Amino acid sequence: MTIATYERYAQMLDAARRGGYAYPAINVTSTQTLNAALQGFAEAESDGIIQVSVGGADYFSGQSVRDRVIGSLAFAAFAHEVAARYPRITTALHTDHCARQYLDEWVRPLLRHEIDQVACGHEPAFQSHMWDGSTVPLDENLNIAEELLEQSVKAHTILEIEIGAVGGEEDGHSAQIDEKLYSTPADGVKVAQRLGLGERGLYMAAFTFGNVHGSYKPGIVKLRPELLGDIQHEVAAAVRDGRVACAPRAFADSWREGGGDIKGGGAADEKPFALVFHGGSGSRPEEIAQAVSHGVVKMNVDTDTQYAFTRAVAGHMFEHYAGVLKIDGEIGEKRFYDPRSWGREAESAMAARVVEACQRLGSAGKALK
């Protein structure tokens, strides 16, 4: 298996939720960082998720083009070709953090393209897309989520939503580090009432519990992963007492060829949501473990892998300073300034960080057969 089908992706997420582990979702900005992510997953014997942000998609298309749809499709096409050489792992492709101002120029066109692909009997370019409604009121957030979920079903993709704000800065989007970073159990019930729990279409939910993008010194970020357990328990209780008129469905049972029928008989449990962890750089291992125990199946990893990649490049340049620069009339050494030399070191360093993420999240060695 290489790039996941819809059914395979659903199986991956369900296996993680039931097995108590999560997949690293690695942000990439180039074919080199994409290759590094694939190398890392293969070395860890882990399935995984590779994603592009709004800025990453723009960057992929080239600074003279700067078209997010073109960049996204170019990324996906390259990934489909290269991932075919990694048959022992399954990788899903995802677009990350699409805020309202980017919907019409990025995710909605991609969904229309994928609906056309499916209508022609092909697999969609991506397997999931994120709607980042963290900057709009919850009702408006869910209005847009309902529309996108309907389109996602037609495109054979899974939707990711964000409820609450993630602090810090990513791709020019920023939020303060304050009480707005904490979702509530009532928010969870409202999401389940509006979107269902799988019977209307599959989605992942990124509830916030103090998450912050970027890298911070200890003590700045105040994570409260127990909030995720509170949300899960409250929604499960709401299913039992009738406030939510549906039952959680196992992702693996939620799609059937020929119409997307839901398999009956799913029972409510204490993890009705498939959760996503954003802004995890610098989190303590025990905080990550607690979040995963409450149903986190996907954790975004970006800042740490960026640093691993760039630190290796910097190390190469410092070590071979005289070789990469033509100093005092000298000619340097091509073997040191050849981009393939420092590029291989960077890819290996980033791959090692991906392996570490798989080990921390418990997905290492658990690639689906």
Task: Give CA–CA dist 316/293, Å, rounded.
Answer: 40
State residue 263 phi and psi, 5-degree precision.
-75, 125
Asked if 183 and 227 count as a contact pair (C-beta separation under 8 A), the reply is: yes
- Which residues are registered as beta bridge partners of 162? 206
| DSSP H or E stretch at residue 112 | helix 107-119
How many other C-beta atoms are found inside a 10 Å radius of the C-beta of residue 204? 22
Number of H helices, E strands in the chain: 13, 10
Residues in the chain: 369
CB 193 within 8 A of CB 236: no
CB-CB neighbours of 152 under 10 Å: 26
For the beta carbon of residue 242, count every other beta carbon within 10 angstroms.
7
CA pair distance 156, 225, nearest whole angstrom: 31
- Which residues are part of the catalytic machinery? 96
d(CA 136, CA 165): 9
Nearest of 43, 52, 53, 96 to residue 76 by alpha carbon = 52
Strand-pairing partners, residue 242, are: none
Structure tokens at 139: 């009702």
Q: What is the DSSP letter of 209?
A: B
Distance CA 50, CA 18 (A): 22
How far, rounded to the nearest angstrom, does the alpha carbon of residue 155 sit from its chain's CA centroid?
A: 18
Which sign, positive or negative, has the C-alpha torsion 51, 56, 59, 65? Answer: positive
Residue 325 to residues 322, 339, 344, Cα–Cα distance (Å)? 6, 13, 19
Are the C-beta atoms of 134 and 162 separated by less than 8 Å? Answer: yes
